[in-house]
Chains A and B, each alone.
Chain A
Amino acid sequence: MATIVNELSYGDAPVKIRADLAGAHARAWRRLAEPGVWFDGATRVAIAAETRNAASCKLCAERKDALSPYNVPGEHDSLGDLPDGALETIHRIATDPGRLMQSWVHGLLDDGGMSDAEYVETGGVVVTIIAIDTFARSVGIEPPALPNPVAGEPSRVRPAGAKLTGAWVPWVAPEDRTQTEIDQGLYGEGGPFIAHIRRALSLVPAEAIGFFDLVENQYLPGREMRNFGEEYRAITHSQIELIAGRISALNQCLY
């Protein structure tokens, strides 16, 4: 049986990290190295490594400075472990997310290099490593060394209820979940209204579930998010939302 070889721990951090937050990071770290739905563990770790590598890509820097990134051709500086479509996906999400376009996504998918579900899983890995690395930078610790991949095959199960109804990729509406997806925790305790952001990665339910495990422990669970009568963190709701709003403005994200 495959075993986890690297456990993420914040025992040596210069400040005390909440146990729930550290636990969520440890689970995300484990998930990063394990076989996913469409990729094996080695590919998932390679996506995480390439996400880090994108920060020093010359093409990405040129595109970032250009009026339009779509007018700057070239090749990404890569670690050489992934195909071109994956590189373009990872580098653009990592370095210039605010200017992604639907036509760009469809171009990647139409080229035949990846399926819509592989695109979503790639994105899920990218945002997981970005969350963990941003936390490390914020709190003042080195980004952790990437985990060793866990052997095994991806499950290759596409959600039966996924439909293209609002976003650029299909999502699973709450009413279209299977009992298995509900049991796995897709949308957690959410009621009939599930925010679009929670649905966004649901074409690969494990990514949606895993990412929101991170979100709820770093930020707040949904119910606490809207309970303004009580404070759950060392900073208030308004202070939390100020940081959220500021970083979203810097990322040029309207959502």
Chain B
Amino acid sequence: MQLLRESSRHSGNDIDFNAILGETDGDVGIPHADILVEFTEAVWGDDDTRLMTARKEIVGVMGEDALVDASGITATFNAIDRVADLTGIPLEDSKAEDTADLREELGINVFETGNA
């Protein structure tokens, strides 16, 4: 989330961060956000037909290389999230400060690791 914000600052695009919650109606400030979110959700879920359609959409609109690179990201984060969860690493102070408002606004502080 911190890197999404930094890329937004760099590009000057006003990004609607609700997109990471799956809300991609209207212009969220990221090209093809709706296609990429649909693909990500389809990978994470278990509906193979939905995933096949999502893959075709990426390839048709963005090209095969985009499918491969998007697949690299789903693979990375489906695994790296588990690394964070299994080891209980804390969020770095700088990241926590930089994203406090966003986490609050999006209501995702409930995902905090289980230090109990």
Contacts and interface: CB of A to CB of B under 8 A. Distances in A.
Interface of B is mostly: helix
Interface stretch (A1-9, A79-87, A161-169): A161-169
Interface string B14-53: 0101011110000001111100110111011000000110
Q: Which of A17, A119, A134 has the most CB of B within 10 A?
A: A134
Contacts of B20: 242, 245-246, 248-249
Interface string A204-241: 00000001001101110000011011000111111111
A228 B112 CA distance: 28
Given A239-B31, A249-B108, A15 B68 contact: yes
Interface stretch (A32-40, A145-153, A174-182, A194-202): A194-202
Interface of A is mostly: helix
Contacts of B13: 238
* Interface size of B as a range: 35 or more
Nearest to B64: A15
Interface of B: 1, 3-4, 6-8, 10-11, 13, 15, 17, 19-22, 29-33, 36-37, 39-41, 43-44, 51-52, 55, 59, 62-92, 103, 108-116
